[in-house]
Amino acid sequence: MRRSRTAWVAAVLAGAALGTATVSADAAPGTDARGTTHTTACPTGWGSLDKTRVAGTTSPVKDVRTAHHACFDRLVVDVPGASAGRLGYLVRYVDRLHQDGSGRPIAMGGGAVLEIRIAAPGYRPETGAATYPGRADRPLPGVDLTGYRTFRDTRFAGSFEGETQIGLGVRTRLPFRVLALDGRVVVDVAHSWSGTR
């Protein structure tokens, strides 16, 4: 029994050593809290073309938050109670953000603008009461982009006919991906085209 366990441990350690010895060409170096140098392989191949998913929910948007990661900046639209299969979206680069309904242009900071449309209202459909505190043409409440590598500005464009519209100003046109998960839609914008941090 001891011999089998020793062989198993040796096999696991050998596999780990092989796994760390192989580094992809687009890996980025980093240092952890102990000062140990390691690499982070950044995802590539996202592209910058429109990304869309046809679906819709009456579950309302409750929050929009952001985070920054080693390889990308992230924006999350929280839609509690909505299953991933019911969350639709359209995310695309636009020359200028225009508010739904009025068509009024909304000024955005950054070198490029992503328009994010989530097929969920920012209000309770049965009463019209707001569920998200954003105000049209204003930065997203509670979002601070200090220290972000890619994100430069956020604006709430409004919620009209069951869709919530957000503007995201980024440093320049960069690749992005969109994920629909239970209760949220995630938009990740890469720090570079090459996959390096």
Q: At 56, list the tokens.
A: 């819709």
Distance CA 123, CA 39 (A): 43
- Which letter, b or e, does each residue of 36-71 get, where b requires 16 or more Cβ atoms within 10 Å of its Cβ? eeeeeebebebebeebebeebbebbbbbbebeeeeb
Q: Is the pLDDT of residue 79 over 70?
A: yes
What is the per-residue DSSP string for 13-34?
HHHHHHHHH---TTEEEEE-TT
Can you give the pTM of this predicted structure?
0.79
Distance CA 63, CA 85 (A): 19
Q: At 66, list the tokens.
A: 């952001």
Going from the C-alpha of 117 to that of each of 13, 77, 179, the distances in angstroms are 47, 10, 13
Task: Count CB neighbours of 24 within 10 A.
Answer: 11
The mean predicted confidence, pLDDT, of the chain is: 84
Specify the DSSP class assigned to residue 184: E
**Domains defined for the chain, CATH in brackets:** 2-41 (no CATH), 51-190 (2.60.40.3500)
pLDDT band at 44 (very low <50, low <70, confident <90, very high): confident
Dump pLDDT digits (tens) for 92-134.
999 999 998 888 999 999 999 999 999 999 999 999 999 999 9
Three-state DSSP class for residue 37: strand
